[in-house]
Amino acid sequence: HIALPGDTVESEVLATIARLNADPAVHGILIQLPLPPHIDGRKVLEAISVHKDVDGFHLYNVGGLVVGNTIFPPCTPYGVQLLLDTTGTDVAGQNVVVVGASNIVGKPQAMLLLQAGATVTICNSKTRDLAAHTREADVLVVAVGRAKMITGDQIKPGAVVIDVGMNRLADGKLSGDVDFASAVERAGWITPVPGGVGPMTIATLLSNTLDAAEHRA
């Protein structure tokens, strides 16, 4: 664990990554985001060796998602795919709606689902009549960062609901982007918050790191 002060200059961050890239004892590098505003986050992520980018954020790995040839899939979308696998749901031909179009979750999640043969709709903050889309979803993945945004009446009965959101409410409790209490009455499968996607993100990060070590060996 390398904890640099908040006022660390960008050149020092890049030099640290270069040192880790060259260290054969280090198999994976993860940058804790967000970075301070004076540091170019994209430049830092692209400085990581593609073969040690266990978070899957390097442009090579992101681009690889489009052609199905990424070295390390992004951890959270990869974890969501594994969760879907455990339900026995074959997403091929299914209507899948992804709410949220971030570079970390929404976009790569859509690419992974497309590769699996799903018919994918990506919704964002400008989508008109969001509920009209979510009610048609056999699989609904929500990653917008807005507490309880999706309610039970917006969910197709029996749908698989994956809640990637993590929000802290005024009373200090954690909530997902889906209103669990109403959604659980409609969904066939649904992830809790906390304890759902989060642990899978950590597990897939470790899986990617193991793969990186095996590739090097």
**How do residues 15-65 score in pLDDT, each as one tens digit?**
999 999 999 999 999 999 899 999 999 999 999 999 999 999 888 998 888
Instruction: Tally Cβ neighbours within 10 Å of residue 13.
Output: 21
Instruction: Identify which has the larger pLDDT, 2 or 63.
Output: 2
Concatenating the DSSP letter of every residue in 126-177 gives T-SSHHHHHTT-SEEEE-SS-TT-B-GGGS-TT-EEEE---EE-TTS-EE-S
Measured CA to CA, the distance from residue 137 to residue 112 in angstroms comes to 17
Measured CA to CA, the distance from residue 141 to residue 152 in angstroms comes to 14
Measured CA to CA, the distance from residue 106 to residue 61 in angstroms comes to 15
Q: Rg of the Cα trace of the chain?
A: 18
Q: Report the pLDDT averaged over residues 76-81.
A: 96
Host H or E run for residue 120? strand 119-123
47 contacts: CB under 8 Å, gap ≥ 6: 14, 17, 18, 21
Tell me what pLDDT residue 68 has. 82
Interhelix angle 75-86/106-115, rounded to 10 degrees, is 50
Tell me what pLDDT residue 67 has. 86
113-136: per-residue pLDDT in tens?
Answer: 999 999 999 999 899 999 999 999
Mean pLDDT of the chain: 95
